[in-house]
Structure 1
Amino acid sequence: MRLAFMGSPDFAVPALRALHGAGHHIVAVYTQPPRPSGRGQKETPCAVHRAALELGLPVRNPARLRRDEAEQAAFAALGLDAAVVAAYGLILPPAMLRAPRRGCLNIHASLLPRWRGAAPIQAAILAGDAETGVTIMQMEEGLDTGPMLLAGRVPIGPRDGTPAIHDALAAQGATLILRALAENPVPQPQPEEGVTYAPKLTKEDGRLHWTDSAAALDRRVRALNPWPGTFFTHDGETIRVLQAVPEPLPASAAPASAAPASAAPGAVLDDAPRIACGEGVLRLQRLQRAGRGAMDAAAFLRGYALPPGMVLG
């Protein structure tokens, strides 16, 4: 089948490799343009760009599409059977959505209509969902509103974080897109009920608020690492929390509602360190100071004091 592939991050790479390996004729790979990266701010191609070059596929990386008639005409001239889109990062204008014979098929990392939008994996973990999945969707002008072709489910375990779920969904998406192209299933409209949205994440989303429950903070740590990362601030310094686990409030500490200083939300209860939360306790397991390497809690505390009784902001 004559295809264009449109994707940018690691999530999209397994699908590109699967389509190439299955013998589809990928006539163009569209990616985000190279961005400055690292200390030297060197222009660096994205993961899909690098994979496409490795596979010997032609790469296009326009900065925009919606108001670029020349790019839209070039896309139409490819004579595509279909375009496969996976976390591309640019909105496709209507002319491009209509250009391929079978339209544009999107690999979306959620069970639509739950978690439409930019960060569906993180949103599912944050919400405490027991499962998520991949939906192959026929694209239309709305935000992830198009009819569904296929879907597959992936459980979210109690200690699963974004990296593990990301990899499982990326692999499943690669399998499902091959099926969708081969089987040409009848599109099914998305249900009108159960619609939720997963907005784009910002660094501030990673701030830990100790008045939240330990269970909610644990989900935030698992969902938002490695990016944007979770953190608290102490004495003007940002401390990243890379790994943590929720625990019940120790019997020796009164509930936070009783408001003893030692159990107020944000109080350091011991040298584990365990931090009192609005409900329960969060034990910090792996931490990182700015400009330093990541450390387990014991090593971190040998160089940074968080004495019991201190209340973190």
Structure 2
Amino acid sequence: MRLAFMGTPAFAVPSLAELVAAGHEVVAVYSQPPKPRGRGQKLTPSPVHTFAKALGLTVLTPPSMKAPEAMAAFAALDLDAACVVAYGQILKPEVLAAPRLGCLNLHGSLLPRWRGAAPIQRAIMAGDRQTGVQIMQMTAGLDEGPILLSEVVPIGPEETAGTLGERMAAIGAGLWPRALAALDRGGLEPQPQVGEPTYAAKISPAETRLDWSRPAAEVDARVRGLSPRPGAWFEAPGPDGPVRMKALASRLGLNDEGGAPGEALDEGLRIACGDGGAVRLLRVQREGRGAQDAEELLRGFPVPAGTRLG
């Protein structure tokens, strides 16, 4: 097929790789414009942009797909379909209708649960036991289109948004050749979404600070759902004042000692929570430093039993 691919983050890269490997003609790759990153604020292309350039594909980075010139250029591509994975821009009806088979989107949830920007993080933070990847026909509404192909993905008890996202990206990529082939021969009947929708809003900064007074299962889910980015954070007392740290991995523990919320129950970062439970932090990152396993951190930054975390 003659395709355009529209995607930006690393989550979308396996899908582009699968479409190219399947022999489709990807005539254009759309991605968000390069953004300033790092200490030098150097303009840096997105992961999809970088990967597409390495394959020798044409990359387009219009600031807005709503601009008349961008919509006209897209229509002029004379596409069979556009494959969209976390592109990051709203597509107007004129764009959605331009390809022969329309625009298709790979979404990281079992719709209508977790429509929106952060479905993987929200699923873990809510304590969901499973999620999924789905290819849907795009419509003007936010993630409201009918489903073409779907696969359920279990969520492990210590899964982070990072590890789950990597698995889902690979599974979702494998759906594309099947969906396109079946759609082209008329073998796919789009299925409407069924049930009450829930919405996966972008993660706000206010959500990233850990509240040790919450139940242990909720604290654990927040740590894992926000890892590796943006990261759930807390403060630990240091020799020169509070030290901000991110918690990047955790598991549920016991609070047999009856410690108060936020209290370290042993020398290994087992922290009491508000329901009489506890969470053991397995991987952490001090502000301005790299991520470390808890054992490594504690060799140079001990957190004795009885320490109160903020």
How far the C-alpha of 1:292 sits from its partner, in A, is 2.1
Instruction: Report the equivalent of 1:186.
Output: 189
Report how far residue 302 of structure 1 moved. 3.9
Matched to 2:303, the amino acid is L
1:30 maps to what in 2?
A: 30
Residue type of the alignment partner of 1:165: L
Cα deviation, 1:143-163, whole Å, max 9, x if unaligned, reads 000111110111111112122
**What is the match of residue 239 of structure 1?**
245
- The aligned residue for residue 260 of structure 1 is none
SS of match in other structure, 1:190: coil
SS in 2 for 1:160: coil
Question: Scaled by the length of structure 1, what TM-score is found?
Answer: 0.92
| 2:306 alignment counterpart | 309
How large is the Cα RMSD of the aligned pairs?
Answer: 1.5
- Distance of 2:159 and 2:254 partners within structure 1: 20
Counterpart Cα distance in 1 of 2:3 and 2:204: 34
Contact 1:202 1:228 in 2 (8 A): no
3-state SS of paired residue (1:3): strand
Write the distance in 2 (CA, Å) between the matches of 1:57 and 1:296.
39
Cα shift at 1:28:
0.8
- The residue that corresponds to 1:74 in the other structure is 73
Structure 1 position 53, deviation (Å): 0.9
Aligned residue runs from structure 1 range 1-313, under 5 A: 1-66=1-66, 68-184=67-183, 185-191=188-194, 193-234=195-236, 235-250=241-256, 253-254=257-258, 263-279=259-275, 280-313=277-310
Q: How far apart are residue 72 of structure 1 and its match?
A: 0.5
Q: Aligned partners of 1:80 and 1:299: how far apart in 2? A: 53
Other-structure match for 1:259: none
Query: What are the superposed Cα offsets for residues 243-271 of structure 1, whole Å, 9 maximum, x if unpaired?
Result: 22211211xx23xxxxxxxx221122222
Deviation at 1:300, TM superposition (A): 2.4
CA–CA distance in 2 between the matches of 1:231 and 1:98? 44
Distance in 1 (CA, whole Å) between partners of 2:290 and 2:76 is: 50
Alpha-carbon distance, 1:57 to partner: 0.9
Gaps of 5+ in 2: none
Q: How high is the TM-score relative to the length of structure 2?
A: 0.93
Task: Please state how far the C-alpha of 1:117 moved relative to its aligned partner.
Answer: 0.5
Residues 205, 228 of structure 1: 8 Å contact kept: no
SS at 2:82 equivalent: strand
Cα displacement (A) at 1:295: 2.8
Structure 1 position 181, deviation (Å) = 0.7
Q: Is the 8 A contact 2:158 2:250 kept in 1?
A: no
The range that moved more, 138-147 or 230-239, is 230-239
- What is the one-letter code of the residue matched to 2:285? Q
Using a 3 Å threshold, how does the CA distance of structure 1 residues 161 and 182 change in structure 2: closer, same or farther?
Answer: same
**Deviation of the 1:55 alpha carbon:** 1.4
Are the aligned partners of 2:160 and 2:228 in contact in 1 as well (CA < 8 Å)?
no
> 2: distance between equivalents of 1:270 and 1:11?
38
Runs of 4+ in 1 over 4 A off after TM superposition: none
- Unaligned segments of structure 1, at least 5 residues: 255-262
- Count residues with an aligned counterpart: 301
Identity among equivalent pairs (%): 54
1:118-138 alpha-carbon deviations (Å, 9 max, x no partner): 111111111111111111110
- Which amino acid in the other structure matches residue 197 of structure 1? Y
> How far does residue 190 in structure 1 lie from its aligned partner after superposition?
0.8
For 2:144 and 2:196, the matched residues in 1 are separated by 12
Distance in structure 2 (CA, Å) of the matches to 1:212 and 1:106: 36
Structure 1 residue 103, shift from structure 2 partner? 0.6
How much has 1:206 moved relative to structure 2? 2.0
CA offsets per residue over residues 36-56 of structure 1, 9 Å max, x none?
Answer: 112222111111111111111
Farther-moved stretch of structure 1 (84-93 vs 202-211)? 202-211
* Contact 1:203/1:229 (<8 A) preserved: no
Between 1:201-210 and 1:27-36, the stretch displaced more is 201-210
Larger displacement relative to structure 2 (181-190 or 231-240): 231-240
